[in-house]
Amino acid sequence: MAQFRIDGFTVIIGGTGGIGKETGFTFAESGVKGILFADVDGVASANVAEESKQIATNSKYKALSTKIDIADAQSVQEMVDLAVKEFGRIDYCINAAGVDVAEYIPATETSEVDYDRVMDINAKGAFLVGRAVAKIMKEQDPISITLPRHGARNLGRGSIVNVASAMSYGVVPAKLPYATSKHALLGITRALAMDLKGFGIRVNQVSPIWVKTPMFEEECRRVPSMPEVVNKIVPTQRAVAPDEVASAIQYLCGPSAVFVNGSGLLLDAGLLLGPTFA
């Protein structure tokens, strides 16, 4: 488990959502020095930051919160400025902010307004965050961690993880803006990784299928057959648990993943491998 210890300062956007909050708690448990929980819901961010203090294992742990609109460059810059002012550096940046489409409708009926809204938050937001955070990471000294049985390991200048979706690789009906945004997100992840690899900054994404969070619960409310669909087509016969996504993010930020860069880590239990005949 030593390889899963994490040391450093973290920013989590979408930090009050199902995946963001669980990732924050996992990081707090893993020994980080501080987390800035940023979300469009500022009040919930403050509550989650407070709650994380009960879970943190680092005696110097510092929890902060702020309101942010990830689709707004100025708002993103203010979040980065706050993190740098309070922490001095950003070692890990987790982008777990995201929205679903307003309506599940065919591409021919999809509105430009909803297309732009989903693309702005799910795709452009990741670019704005990656751009602003990477400028800070590029200027900071690399950090290293000492593993009890393996000695010192250089972690580089930082790690950025985007929470994408299995829809970076496949699509489902009636969700064109969402699927498009997640395909774009894979491109943003890989392009950022390309431009930052020379600086010791890694950029990866996790790409889960349905995750048991408020977003999935809302989908089940809108489409009551969803739990049955998941049970039928997902090999594990259930949605992913938020802690399973958080653990994958923790791995991508940790000392065992120094060689993992530009990856899209699918968490789909093999669903996208293709149809099962038997």
Ligand X SMILES: NC(=O)c1ccc[n+]([C@@H]2O[C@H](COP(=O)([O-])OP(=O)(O)OC[C@H]3O[C@@H](n4cnc5c(N)ncnc54)[C@H](O)[C@@H]3O)[C@@H](O)[C@H]2O)c1
The least CB distance from residue 94 to ligand X, in Å, is 10
**How far, in Å, CA of 70 to CA of 145, rounded?**
31
Is the Cβ–Cβ distance between 8 and 143 less than 8 Å? yes
**How far, in Å, CA of 4 to CA of 248, rounded?**
10
- The residue (of 145 and 185) whose beta carbon lies closer to ligand X is 185
The least CB distance from residue 70 to ligand X, in Å, is 4
**How far, in Å, CA of 121 to CA of 16, rounded?**
16
Buried b (16+ CB within 10 A) or exposed e, 48-68: bbeebeeebeeeebbbbbbbb
Greatest extent of the chain over all pairs of C-alpha atoms, in Å:
58
Q: Kind of pairing, strands 158-163 and 92-95?
A: parallel
- The residue (of 15 and 255) whose beta carbon lies closer to ligand X is 15
The least CB distance from residue 20 to ligand X, in Å, is 6
**How far, in Å, CA of 122 to CA of 136, rounded?**
22
Catalytic sites, residue numbers: 178, 182
- The residue (of 66 and 159) whose beta carbon lies closer to ligand X is 66
Strand order in the sheet with 266-267: 62-67, 34-39, 9-13, 92-95, 158-163, 201-208, 266-267
Q: For residue 98, what are its two tokens?
A: 């995201």
- The residue (of 99 and 136) whose beta carbon lies closer to ligand X is 99
Residues that bind ligand X (CB under 6 A): 13-14, 16-20, 39-41, 68-71, 96-99, 121-122, 163, 165, 208, 210-211, 213-216
Q: What is the dihedral of CA 89, 26, 170, 276, to 10 degrees?
A: 150
- The residue (of 79 and 134) whose beta carbon lies closer to ligand X is 79
The least CB distance from residue 107 to ligand X, in Å, is 19
The least CB distance from residue 69 to ligand X, in Å, is 5
